[in-house]
């Protein structure tokens, strides 16, 4: 089951570039939350701070507090532990090119020392079913490489890979921006199904997508969060002028 995320006074830098400034935000458990905003506004940096991927860049720095459930991730846990609880799906599908479909899904568990083969088989099947890929790949699980799938299938494979480690939170950084409309709608259907079991945070450029999948939406601009409210309110009656300008297409 998913857990809520509480972010307070979060600041992040790349070198001297202050990319996130004083973010305060409560993301509800077992819902989909969309983050919208123009390119470079800090929304990707924000999700990378939630699983501590931000700090894998040597010039990156972060301050503030992020609670996942009741775990203070910057004070009480190691990055690897957090990343097992907070899965991530990237903008471009990035399956491990030398691994089979099966091994791609099992990678997170195997590389963390999980060896029970029968349980692994079950987890792989369940994860692929959860990501709506099972029927398309079940006959070639071990024969075919993850890289031989189509772009949309690869992205669902990456979702299965993230689900296999049984995370509580699923971060999606523009998961459909590199995909065609059919694949995109499959991913959106998937988000719809998954959000009852996981807390989903999805970064998107596509405002219709945010409107379709998310209950709550946050609008980022120049490293600050301008507005955070129900998706309905953001798209019909935003409180901030800048949000209104953005969603009506006046800039960005």
Partner 1 sequence: MLVVAPLVAIFIYLVYRGASSLNLDFFIQVPKPVGEAGGGMANAIAGSAILLAVGSLIGVPVGIAGGIFLAEFGRGTKLANAVRFTADVLNGVPSIVMGIAIYSLIVVPQGHFSAFSGGVALGIMMIPTVCRTTEEMLLMVPNAVREAALALGVPNWRSVLAITVKTASPGIITGCMLAFARVAGETAPLIFTAFGNVGWSERLDEPIAALPLQIYVYALSPYDDWHRLAWAGSLVLIVLIVLAVSLVRFVTSRGVLKGAS
Distance CA 57, CA 138 (A): 37
DSSP string, 31-43: SEEEEE-STTSSH
Q: Which is nearer to partner 1, 167 or 238 (CB)?
A: 167
Q: Which is nearer to partner 1, 83 or 216 (CB)?
A: 83
Q: Which is nearer to partner 1, 144 or 215 (CB)?
A: 144
Place of tokens 């950084």: 173
3-state DSSP assignment of residue 191? helix
Burial of 215 (0-12, 13-18, 19+ CB in 10 A): middle
**Closest-CA residue to 203 (of 224, 173, 179):** 173
Q: Dihedral (C-alpha) 67, 71, 74, 79: value to the nearest 10 degrees?
A: -120
Contacting partner 1 within 123-162 (CB under 8 A): 143-145, 147-149, 158, 161-162
Contact mark string toward partner 1, 84..123, x via CB under 8 A: xx-xx-x-x-xxxxxxx------xx--xx-----------
Question: How many residues make contact with partner 1 (CB under 8 A)?
Answer: 35
Does 56 bind partner 1 (CB under 8 A)? Our answer is yes
Give the DSSP H or E segment for 226: strand 224-230
Considering only 19, 44, 45, 51, the residue that binds partner 1 (CB under 8 A) is: 51
Q: Which is nearer to partner 1, 51 or 130 (CB)?
A: 51
Binding region for partner 1 (CB under 8 A): 51, 53, 56, 58, 80-85, 87-88, 90, 92, 94-100, 107-108, 111-112, 143-145, 147-149, 158, 161-162, 165
């Amino acid at each position: 089951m998913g857990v809520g995320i509480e972010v307070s006074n979060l600041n992040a830098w790349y070198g001297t570039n202050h990319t996130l400034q004083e973010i305060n935000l409560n993301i509800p458990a077992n819902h989909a939350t969309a983050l919208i905003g123009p390119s470079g506004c800090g929304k990707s940096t924000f999700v990378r701070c939630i699983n501590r991927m931000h700090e894998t860049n040597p010039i990156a720095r972060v301050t503030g507090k992020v609670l996942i459930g009741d775990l203070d991730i910057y004070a009480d846990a190691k990055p690897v532990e957090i990343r097992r609880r907070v899965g991530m799906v990237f903008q471009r599908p990035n399956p491990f090119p030398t691994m089979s479909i099966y091994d791609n899904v099992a990678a997170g568990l195997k590389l963390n020392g999980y060896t029970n083969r029968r349980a692994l088989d079950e987890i792989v099947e369940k994860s692929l079913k959860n990501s709506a890929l099972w029927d398309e790949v079940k006959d070639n699980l071990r024969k075919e490489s993850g890289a031989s799938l189509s772009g949309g299938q690869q992205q669902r494979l990456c979702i299965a890979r993230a689900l296999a480690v049984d995370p509580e939170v699923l971060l999606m950084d523009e998961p459909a921006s590199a995909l065609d409309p059919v694949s995109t709608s499959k991913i959106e259907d998937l988000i719809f199904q998954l959000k009852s079991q996981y807390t989903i945070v999805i970064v998107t450029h596509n405002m219709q997508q945010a409107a379709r999948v998310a209950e709550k939406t946050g609008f980022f601009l120049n490293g600050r969060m301008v507005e955070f409210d129900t998706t309905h309110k953001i798209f019909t009656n935003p409180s901030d002028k800048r949000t209104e300008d953005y969603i009506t297409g006046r800039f960005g």
